[in-house]
Chains A and B, each alone.
Chain A
Amino acid sequence: MMDMIKSRWILLKRHRLKLIFWLFIPLFVTVGAVYVTSNVSEDFRVPVAVVDEADVEETDRIIKGLEESNYIRIDHFESSEKDDALRVLEQYQYDSVLVFGEDFEDKILSGERRNMVETYYTDRSFAYSTVKELLASLIQESLNSQRITEQIQDLEMELFNETTIESETILETKNQIDMDSNLVSQNFTFKGKETMEQNDSTIDPWLIWAYVSLLTTVFIFEFVTRETRSETKQRFLYLNYSFKAFMITSFLAMLIVMYMIDLVTLLIIKAMFDQSVSIVSLLIYRAIVNIIVFIVAFYSRSKLSLYRNGLGLIGVLLGLHIIMPFLNGISNFHPVIALVENNNNFVMLFVTILVLTVCLGRNRNARS
């Protein structure tokens, strides 16, 4: 056994720099990618044009509320420029256009709830309903403030036949109550699964790591293709160990090395991004990936062929991954999804090991 491992090391020593590079790249790429996307993704905003024909305190407050949301970018237009804004919208340069009419304040005061704001959108306005919701709740706040003062004053008039309480006092009380209480919240779970609260704006580092390490494993395992297709393989006929035994030992040795690096990766990513997967899932993923790539490498005709097949494999997995959530299907059979969702899929592992044994056992008599 030790002989085989030593020979493996001698054979790989030539490529040790490249090996180290490909072994550690997944970690660096993951960290880099998450860093970049989390910084840049906040700057992706929905462009919305606002035409304020009323120009009162209430509209200022509402527009400010829209600006303060972290996914909207407001462009202000003068009331005379309304047609310009609409024209730009027609050219799909805005997601939507909001127009506050001159009579906005009157409508608030009268408590009329219909058609407070004109909104324009297109068939490509992806974020329109979200923006509309935010706008509606901001308008609702204004209406509520107006209504409450009227109500309390009416109540006082009814009970005591006088109005002593000032509007401002009422509003202050309301704001105080607003800040102090938080009456309703929601807790969302899927039946039978644990909730995984995830910040939507940052991408899961393990997703990136899974695919990058798949690619690098393909690159690392090119030695399998190279040696399986070489002519020196014949010499194994005269040696104590069979070629197959040699390859399996190499495989296990690589697996252990990669496990160690993966554990380091786990610690670092957990420390930096506070996102971790269970160790078991990680080990299973690494095992499955290594086995699949080994099989592909074993049967590839050349280095280029290996890369093409590897790329094809990654493409297929990526494609399935994107479609999976919509198909409600076999999310258990996809290694990356299993890793990200912490499914400890031993079944998949056993199946792959089985396939490996079958593949290696097939050529027992023809070659060794």
Chain B
Amino acid sequence: MNRADYMTALRRALSVLPEEERANALRYYEEYFDDAGPENEAKAIEELGEPAKVAAQILADYRELTAVPHAQPIKEKRRWRGISPLLLIVLVLLAIPIGLPLVFGAGATVLGVLLAIVVTVLAVIFAVLLILYGIPLALICGGAVIALLSCTLWATPANALVTLGNGLAAFAAGILLGLLSIKLSILFVPPVFRAFVAVLRAPFNWIRNRCRRTGGGNV
């Protein structure tokens, strides 16, 4: 083996090293041969030993030097879901000077609107109730009164009988309608009531869903 062969073998054996490392190592041995001089080439090769062995030592040493210490696992910082409370407090504090008057004005408007809505709804409910129960009630009461008043007409028995009949008929109709109203109420009031409650709850659910959506999906 001559120097050129030796260096070729060494270069190949060190090919796994990064570019700079390999270049430094090869330079050392090129210089070694240079300093030994061509007359000492064979002796130098003998002194150095097999290129495979030399490369093995260099690689082992490199691996030892570049061993990465066990990396500290990065503690997963606990993500805060939703708005940070601190941020919320700061925002509220900042918002107070501007926000408060605004809130009052806006609040008054909102309250007014809400009030109007509530009153309207109540009026509607009242009207419905009136229709449902008022009419039967009226019929019942009216019918009973008419039937009783027919006694005053005893002078004209035909009239009295007709009036009594009308009164009793009205009375009966009232009772029937009343029963019908009660039946309808049983059927319709619970769902209507639930719908009413759901309408009231809707704004709060909307807010909660928005927070869940923006806070739940962590950036």
The finding on whether chains A and B are genuine partners in a shared complex, rather than unrelated, reads no
Hey, which bits of chain A sit against chain B, CB under 8 A? none
Which residues from chain B sit less than 8 Å from chain A, CB to CB? none
